[in-house]
Structure 1
Amino acid sequence: MEKAGGAAGRQDGAGSGKAEPQPRSVRVVLMALMITMLLAMLDNMIVGPAMPTIVGDLGGMEHLSWVVTAYTLATAASTPIWGKLGDMYGRKGSFLTAIVIFLAGSVLSGMAQDMGQLIGFRAIQGLGAGGLMVGVMAIIGDLVPPRDRGKYMGMMTGVMAIAMIGGPLVGGSITDHLGWRWAFYINLPLGAVALAMVTTVLHLPKKKAEGRIDYLGAALLTIGISALVLVTTWGGSEYAWGSAVIMELIGIGVASLVGFLFVQKKAAEPILPLHIFANRNFSLMAVIGFITGFVMFGAMLFLPLYQQSVQGASATNSGLLLLPMLLSMMAVSMVAGRFTTATGKYRMFPIIGTILMVTGFFLLAQMDTETSRLTSGLYMAVLGAGMGFLMQITMLVAQNSVEMKDMGVASSSATLFRTLGSSFGVAIMGALFNHRVQDVMAERAGSLGGKVTESSAQLDAASLKELPVAISDAYQHAVSAGTHSAFLLGAAISVVALLASFFVKEIPLRGSAAAEKPAGGEPAGDRPAGDQPAGNAEGDSARAAGKTVAEHV
């Protein structure tokens, strides 16, 4: 069992399974994990408002999208590798390495002298970011048994919501008063605190893997993921969907992933063990997590756009526009986590969450140019509640479906599917939105409307005031129609997650030996073999000790 400052794991006697934690040390570890999660989520939110200033200083407007794309690519491609490294060589070492790489990338990005350097340094930063969230979730999975894990993952969802709300506001303020370079340097004090806390308080046993890292599998997976992310990033914007470049990327991506699956069957230490997908609950959580990422980031892109363009809200307060959705998500996630801890029940949450998600998107699709901010806020709250039920449960059930030795790859896989879902969601919903906006503008404003949206289908409130009234009115109707189509797609995609949620099985979340009934309501022997977490003596002992840790936090 891992220890938090000697806290979480001196076991008494030969395998007694009891731990003598030091509550303060455990709390410090969890605080460090929350700070690290904040780093992982806050970065892009802070950098976004600084982008116009960065371009004005460094130039290279034509390469602007790569500042985000390089970060996203490196994060997505490295996520599964970080998870496997933690499983093979120890969680603490890989986690600290990821923090150091992230901070080094932040320093270098702040020192960049041209756009090319910034893009390269952002890739380094993304490489470290890939290990931050995976490390946080996997360490929680090690320290806290599944029965108690819900409330801590609910806290992490709260941190994510805080980052989404405060990130744009902080980023704008930092850029205005300190300069854009501090949008990267701000990571240093937070990262230094997290690094010091993790180094001094978290004491995990070192591991020595018998096999070697699957380099061929890692390379194929990196190529495959990178190709797919580039397809979703470039398709319909940089290149037409049917262009040779997009078709080649699709071919490379598919071929690489097929080769990756073949290699994983033969590898001694596969990057992504395929046997974990034999567990029904794990596979269902991968599907639901993908769809949650798909629709969530699409909503976060188009809701501020709708409120700025149609309802006339200020772009400066873009973070506050999402407040109803994010506060609802945070509150529901924390309540659901505590309920799961108290009762051990979780199957209802994916069902309730997906029902609310479908309902929320359907309501948002009804918004038009006359919809009030109060009404749209209520619709967002419904959607946020649905996501609150899903954000932590997908990770919790995924982790509960594997052995302790696969905790890292389970965490990284759940994170990866959500990341890929967000890439696909932004691309597909964005393409549908842009196409609809351009069609409506052409209908309502003729050739002049086509020129307005020729370069971009997105105009802010300030830009709209400079247009003729007829064009401005046409654009508001066009954005309303575009969001209608995008949100209807979100509702339709969410139905797939709803159907998947009905097949989730309520496999009891394991806690301490004392907390569980020896021959509980569902004897282990009666559980379906395919859905039962494959426990072992080491894993059960770790979870038992983790129960004691959770009780003192």
Structure 2
Amino acid sequence: MTHAQIMRALSGLLLGLFCAILSSTVVTNALPRIIGDLGGGQSAYTWVVTSSLLAVTASTPLWGKLADLFSKKILVQSALVIFVLGSLAAGLAPNPATLIAARVIQGLGGGGLSALGQVVLAAMISPRERGRYSGYLGATFAVATVGGPLLGGVITDTSWLGWRWCLFVGVPFAVVALIVLQRTLNLPLTKRHVKVDWAGAFLVTAAVCTLLIWVTFADDKYAWLSWQTYTLLGAALALTLVFLYVETKVSEPVIPLRLFRNPTIALASVASLFVGVALFAGTVFFSQYFQLARGASPTLSGVMTIPLIGGLFLSSTVSGRVITRTGRWKGWLLAGGILLTAGLALLGMLRHDTPYLYVAGCMALIGLGVGMTLQNLVLCTQNQVSTRDLGVASSTVTFFRSLGGAVGVSVLGSILSSRIGRHAMETIGDLSPQDRAAAAKAAGSGRLPDLAVLPASVRIWLEGAYGRGIGDIFLYAAPVALIAFLVTLFIKEVPLRASDSAVRATEAEQAS
């Protein structure tokens, strides 16, 4: 395929990927307003994010396995349809519970688009050339990530639209992507008559759900060390063990355990797990920081995150082109781990009145680190597997990244609630007796506060508590990013192959 043919084939795929990313980022700056209007609190805020990540995490291995068995084109289109249905349900949600359920449906579709994007790319392009086109994926990720918060902020602040249109906005893009894919994406169809591992898919979903239920409600509904913790952890462990047993018995497992005999795949999966924790947990709370600790509007909150996305856009595109030219990728992986760890650690000193220039510099470091890390962990994995395992290997790395993100957001979201409460109580004595009553009402309502209706002194007090609490979250995420960097040190660099998967498939068929 020529470059022009590849770009035409990728156009609809990139548009679909844009929809999936936009669905998660467009609500980022609108979430405080959404949760406030629907009457939810910090737990609902966390679960709106976590539910989507959970669905992505649980469905990614299944999408990857299906891509190895059935038409990739039909699967991508199916994911788009599921995404549209979830978006419509989310936009019409009357309460937090319905919104969370709709976000699960959105996540199922988004998980398919995220996983299949890497699989289709690998099916068309050789590993050596893939770095260049992975840069296009990174650029799409960057544009959707920076455009989402900005678009969501503008929509939320526009009176005749409102936050519900943040959840509808991805629908027209998805419809266009469906049409474009039908016309441009044509991949060879290899039919394999095998049974899908539905038992494995159910078990891995149940294990992940049980784990997330535990980390979400720990330190809120019950203590970290309690009978509820022991019960949920025991159930998650039991489900995981049963899942591993099932995967050793079925002919086409959702996650083939034999893949982990390859050190590169095993280490890349572990690194992706910790990168996911640092990435999602380190960035999902930015909107709360800018709106609840600095008093910014949703639109301004989106503008203030541009340094993060600028770094991501720059590093993903530049690293992709250089990797294509040289075939070397590990140096970028290591540099990304260092930058991500440094950015999170420096944000550990965050306060509500921290100079924005300092915050912007730290966000740029995180963006540069993420852009060098995410695509290359998938790339080095794809370079190690045969054509028949391309989909499941790609989705396995994505699965661990999403799992880390979901667990990280849940754990740190729970910790954030307690840290904000602790910092608030430490300083409530500085308020006047009259202001203390308003402060206690704002802090004890169980809902995200509306800073505009609070007295000035109470607003400053609450902004200070949010600033310190969110700073603590970044500080906790930094060691996790450091672990990811240490794991990548042991990944052996194997030069990228110059033959693509279609050629290897033909060669394998001829040899047999």
TM-score over 0.5 (shorter chain): yes
Please point out which of 483, 488, 501 is paired with 1:496.
483
Tell me, what secondary structure is at the counterpart of 2:492?
coil
Please point out which of 97, 106, 127 is paired with 1:146.
127
Aligned twin of 1:453: 443
Matched, 1:98 2:85: no
Distance change in 2, residues 1:160/1:251 (3 Å): same
- For 1:311-333, what per-residue CA distance to the aligned partner results, in whole angstroms no more than 9, with x for missing partners? 44334322222111110111011
Q: Unaligned 5+ residue runs, structure 1?
A: 1-7, 9-20, 514-534, 543-553
Aligned twin of 2:111: 130
* 1:333-372 alignment, distance < 5 Å: 333-368=316-351, 370-372=353-355
Aligned twin of 1:462: 452
- For 1:60-109, what per-residue CA distance to the aligned partner results, in whole angstroms no more than 9, with x for missing partners? 75895665554443332211111101101232222222122222333444
Q: Distance in 2 between matches of 1:537 and 1:34?
A: 24
Q: Give TM-score scaled by structure 1 length.
A: 0.81
Aligned twin of 1:522: none
Please point out which of 56, 68, 76 is paired with 1:87.
68
Aligned twin of 1:479: 466
| TM superposition shift of 1:142 | 0.8
Preserved CA contact (<8 Å) 1:438 1:450 = no
Distance change in 2, residues 1:266/1:537 (3 Å): farther
* 1:288-327 alignment, distance < 5 Å: 288-327=271-310
Q: Give TM-score scaled by structure 2 length.
A: 0.87
Distance change in 2, residues 1:398/1:236 (3 Å): farther
Aligned twin of 1:16: none
Please point out which of 56, 59, 70 is paired with 1:75.
56
Preserved CA contact (<8 Å) 2:40 2:448 = no
Letter matched to residue 340 of structure 1: I
Matched, 1:157 2:173: no
- For 1:191-234, what per-residue CA distance to the aligned partner results, in whole angstroms no more than 9, with x for missing partners? 12211221222222223224211122122112112222333333
Please point out which of 478, 494, 512 is paired with 1:507.
494
Matched, 1:34 2:14: yes
Aligned twin of 1:18: none
Aligned twin of 1:207: 190
| TM superposition shift of 1:462 | 3.3
Q: Distance in 2 between matches of 1:331 and 1:69?
A: 28
Q: Distance in 1 between matches of 2:32 and 2:351?
A: 30
In the comparison of the two structures, how many residue pairs are matched?
Answer: 497
Q: Distance in 1 between matches of 2:164 and 2:424?
A: 39
Aligned twin of 2:240: 257
| TM superposition shift of 1:411 | 1.7
* 1:273-288 alignment, distance < 5 Å: 273-288=256-271
Preserved CA contact (<8 Å) 1:71 1:126 = yes
Distance change in 2, residues 1:51/1:334 (3 Å): closer
Q: Unaligned 5+ residue runs, structure 2?
A: none
Letter matched to residue 337 of structure 1: G
Aligned twin of 1:15: none
Tell me, what secondary structure is at the counterpart of 2:285?
helix
Distance change in 2, residues 1:52/1:291 (3 Å): closer
Preserved CA contact (<8 Å) 1:287 1:497 = yes
Aligned twin of 1:443: 426
Preserved CA contact (<8 Å) 2:57 2:400 = no
Preserved CA contact (<8 Å) 2:211 2:232 = yes
Q: Distance in 2 between matches of 1:432 and 1:50?
A: 22
* 1:403-442 alignment, distance < 5 Å: 403-442=386-425
Preserved CA contact (<8 Å) 1:300 1:322 = no
Fraction of identical pairs, as percent? 35
Aligned twin of 2:201: 218
| TM superposition shift of 1:50 | 5.6
Preserved CA contact (<8 Å) 2:216 2:411 = no
Letter matched to residue 315 of structure 2: V
Q: Distance in 1 between matches of 2:202 and 2:276?
A: 25
Preserved CA contact (<8 Å) 1:227 1:249 = yes
Preserved CA contact (<8 Å) 1:441 1:450 = no
Q: Distance in 1 between matches of 2:106 and 2:291?
A: 31
Q: Distance in 2 between matches of 1:167 and 1:90?
A: 30
Aligned twin of 1:166: 147
Distance change in 2, residues 1:459/1:157 (3 Å): farther
| TM superposition shift of 1:173 | 3.6
| TM superposition shift of 1:287 | 1.8
- For 1:151-176, what per-residue CA distance to the aligned partner results, in whole angstroms no more than 9, with x for missing partners? 22222222222222221332344453
* 1:496-535 alignment, distance < 5 Å: 496-512=483-499
Preserved CA contact (<8 Å) 1:86 1:94 = yes
Tell me, what secondary structure is at the counterpart of 1:209?
coil
Distance change in 2, residues 1:403/1:350 (3 Å): same
Distance change in 2, residues 1:450/1:334 (3 Å): same
Specify which structure has the higher proportion of helix: 2
Distance change in 2, residues 1:413/1:540 (3 Å): same
Larger radius of gyration: 1
Q: Distance in 1 between matches of 2:345 and 2:242?
A: 40
Aligned twin of 2:368: 385
Distance change in 2, residues 1:31/1:182 (3 Å): same
Q: Distance in 2 between matches of 1:112 and 1:434?
A: 25
Preserved CA contact (<8 Å) 1:229 1:420 = no
**Cα RMSD (Å):** 3.1
Preserved CA contact (<8 Å) 2:50 2:409 = no
- The farther-off stretch of 109-118 and 381-390 is 109-118
